[in-house]
């Protein structure tokens, strides 16, 4: 899971990854009017974004700590399983634990 942390004023901002996976629907099915070779420049620029005919997606959120408070800014996908991405489950709870976040503090 990727991780990025920064401070803005007295706030600590931590980017968290809930899910990182290959989208189950192949690109030609998602965008049938886009020729397959149109993806090549993007494959070269962003090789880690593609997995065969599928695009990798990252679903994330942010943790903000400031003035003794902890706030989670989340997209709300939930733990899953999420049907439209192949029944995958989110990993947010594990990601929070890896950052030593006590859920009672959020």
Question: How many domains does the chain divide into?
Answer: 1
Q: Show the domain range for 23.
A: 4-105
pLDDT at 48: 92
Residue 46 has pLDDT above 80, yes or no: yes
pLDDT at 1: 46
Q: Tokens 């990182």 label which residue?
A: 20
Lowest-confidence range among 4-13, 39-48, 74-83?
74-83
Lowest-confidence range among 42-46, 47-51, 73-77, 96-100?
73-77
Q: What is the CA radius of gyration of the chain?
A: 17
**Mean per-residue pLDDT for 25-49?**
94
Q: Give me the half-sphere count of Cα atoms (radius 13 Å) on the Cβ side of residue 69.
A: 7
Residue 2 has pLDDT above 60, yes or no: no
With CA atoms as reference, report the closest residue to 30 among 19, 39, 41. Answer: 39
Domain holding 66: CATH number?
A: 3.60.15.10
**Mean per-residue pLDDT for 18-35?**
90
| Segment 47-68, tens digit of pLDDT | 999 999 999 988 888 999 999 9
């Amino acid at each position: 899971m990727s991780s990025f942390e920064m401070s803005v004023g007295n706030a600590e901002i931590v980017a968290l990854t809930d899910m990182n996976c290959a989208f189950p629907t192949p690109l030609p099915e998602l965008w049938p009017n886009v020729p397959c070779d149109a993806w090549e420049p993007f494959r070269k620029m962003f090789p880690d974004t593609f997995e065969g005919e599928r695009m990798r997606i990252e679903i994330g959120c942010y943790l903000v700590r400031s003035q003794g408070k902890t706030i989670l800014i989340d997209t709300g996908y939930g733990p899953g399983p999420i049907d439209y991405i192949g029944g995958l489950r989110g990993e947010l709870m594990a990601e929070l634990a890896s950052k030593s976040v006590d859920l009672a503090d959020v």
